Amino acid sequence: MYIVDSYGLAVIFCIITMLGWGSWANTLKMSSKEWEFPLYYWDYSIGLILTTLLFGFTFGSSGEEGRGFIADLTQADGSALTSAFIGGVIFNIANLLVVAATAIAGLAVAFPIAIGLALVIGVVVNYIATPLGNPVLLFIGVALVVAAILVDAAAYRKLSQENKGDQKKGIIISIIAGVLMGFFYRFVAASMTTNFTTPDAGLLTPYAAMFVFTIGIFLSNFVFNTWFMYKPVTGKAVGYSDYFKLGSPKLHMIGLLGGLIWCAAMEFNLMATEKAGFAISYGLGQGATMISAAWGVFVWKEFGIAPKGTNKLLAAMFALFIVGLALIVIARI
């Protein structure tokens, strides 16, 4: 299997994670308005599984060190497989709840609360489990990234003062989503060996762990995503037949692409964990919030008609993010 051999390369892989996690949602904007999110999400989840197989039979099956993808899966014990699977289930409901909260209360309420909570909880939990890096630099960096997320929320709030929806309901859902999102990574990490060259018996390497993780996402879709299909928080209800009747090859490919982008980012993140540690890898990856903001600002022109003073908030947001990111990186040096 391919193994990351330096901290510098691990940081590059975590930056790729940020870019992927912050960019996959662009495929949502590329979808037709008639193609409801739950229908898109089926293709997205299929794209996740296909991407893990691609990585498993390429990166996970090359080289002389570690365990091959298939051998790794077959030797895993039940607790490791269960942990990675549960991580997928938790991520799936958290991801769907973030979307629901955004639909109810708007991005300015849902995203900062959910992702901010997930970032703090995820870094703390993963650092306690695997304490790698300077804790002072790491947690100051995390605090600055959270501050950047809050400034991002303030900027969005200035953009639209009307039609904010039911914020109380949105806040409650966002808190639940953030707590869940903060814990999914620990379940995946608990299923994995921390030595990729000579992996511990019974535990998984990144490639096999990701495959089991995405199976958890896909199978739990039959519960969680089915609920959102028939009981949507926004848009119209859809059924399974609509997936086949309304979906064009282009729409299906867009959903698959979204899954590929998110999953490839997660694969690179787990590949980096041996050298960077789980806390730093997760903290850097969750900086994706700012990547999403950058897409909104510079590509989708979401702030094109923003009121006076918004640009200062955006500048502060990116400054806090860059400094926080730098501190997270040097915390391991």
Cα–Cα distance for residue pair 171/231, rounded to 1 Å: 19
pLDDT by residue (tens digit) across 205-225? 999 999 999 999 999 999 999
Cα–Cα distance for residue pair 324/328, rounded to 1 Å: 6
Instruction: Report pTM.
Output: 0.90
Cα–Cα distance for residue pair 221/215, rounded to 1 Å: 10
Out of 106-110, 148-152, 170-174, pick the least confident: 106-110
Average pLDDT over the chain, rounded to whole? 89
Cα–Cα distance for residue pair 70/58, rounded to 1 Å: 12
Cα–Cα distance for residue pair 49/264, rounded to 1 Å: 11
The pLDDT confidence band at residue 186, using thresholds 50, 70 and 90, is very high
Cα–Cα distance for residue pair 268/266, rounded to 1 Å: 5
Q: Supply the pLDDT for residue 117.
A: 85
Structure tokens at 278: 């789980």
pLDDT by residue (tens digit) across 240-251? 999 999 999 999
Which residue did the predictor score with more confidence, 44 or 101?
Answer: 44
The pLDDT confidence band at residue 160, using thresholds 50, 70 and 90, is low
Number of Cβ within a 10 Å radius of residue 6:
9
- Contacts with 317 (C-beta within 8 Å, 6 or more apart), sequence order: 148, 151, 152, 155, 290, 293
In the block, tokens 């009121």 appear at 307
Please give the angle made by the CA atoms of 115, 120 and 125, to the nearest 5 degrees: 120
CA-based torsion, 125, 50, 218, 256: positive or negative:
positive
Q: Supply the pLDDT for residue 233.
A: 80
The pLDDT confidence band at residue 279, using thresholds 50, 70 and 90, is very high
Q: What are phi and psi of 192, to 5 degrees?
A: -105, 150
Q: Supply the pLDDT for residue 5.
A: 93
pLDDT by residue (tens digit) across 84-119? 999 999 999 999 998 787 777 666 667 777 877 888
pLDDT by residue (tens digit) across 245-268? 999 999 999 999 999 999 999 999
Domain limits, the chain? 7-330
Burial class (CB in 10 A: 0-12, 13-18, 19+), 250: exposed
